Amino acid sequence: MRLPTLVGTAFAALAAIAALPLVRAHSESAVQIDAPKVDATPAEGLQTAVLAGGCFWGIQAVYQHTKGVTKAVSGYAGGDKKDADYHTVSNGRTGHAESVQVTFDPKQISYGQILQVFFSVAHNPTELNRQGPDSGPQYRTEIFPQTEEQAKIAKAYVAQLDAAKAFPRPIVTKTGTMKATFYPAEAYHQDYAFNNPGNPYIAFNDAPKVENLKRMFPALYRDKPVLVADAK
- Kindly list the catalytic residues: 55
Residue 179 has pLDDT above 70, yes or no: yes
In a domain, 2, yes or no: no
In a domain, 30, yes or no: yes
In a domain, 191, yes or no: yes
Provide the pLDDT confidence category of residue 2 given band limits of 50, 70 and 90. low
Q: Which amino acid is at 136?
A: G
pTM, two decimal places: 0.89
In a domain, 197, yes or no: yes
In a domain, 4, yes or no: no
In a domain, 3, yes or no: no
Q: What is the C-alpha to C-alpha distance for residues 48 and 104, in angstroms, rounded to an integer?
A: 6
Q: Which amino acid is at 139?
A: Y
- Of residues 72, 130, 143, the one with CA closest to residue 102: 72
In a domain, 214, yes or no: yes
Kindly report, residue by residue over 200-211, the tens digit of the pLDDT.
999 999 999 999
DSSP 99-153: EEEEEE-TTTS-HHHHHHHIIIII--TT-SSEETTEESGGG-EEEE-SSHHHHHH
Kindly report, residue by residue over 79-111, the tens digit of the pLDDT.
999 999 999 999 999 999 999 999 999 999 999
68 CB-near residues (< 8 Å, 6+ apart): 104, 105, 107, 108, 109, 113, 220
Residue 116 has pLDDT above 80, yes or no: yes
In a domain, 184, yes or no: yes
pLDDT recorded at residue 231: 87
Q: What is the C-alpha to C-alpha distance for residues 222 and 4, in angstroms, rounded to an integer?
A: 29
DSSP 8-state assignment for residue 4: P
Kindly report, residue by residue over 26-72, the tens digit of the pLDDT.
445 799 999 999 999 889 999 999 999 999 999 999 999 999 999 99
187: domain range?
9-231
Q: What is the CATH number of the domain that holds 213?
A: 3.30.1060.10
Provide the pLDDT confidence category of residue 21 given band limits of 50, 70 and 90. very low
Provide mean pLDDT across the span 168-189: 97
Kindly report, residue by residue over 188-197, the tens digit of the pLDDT.
999 999 999 9
Residue 117 has pLDDT above 80, yes or no: yes
Look at the chain and report how many structural domains it folds into.
1
pLDDT recorded at residue 29: 78
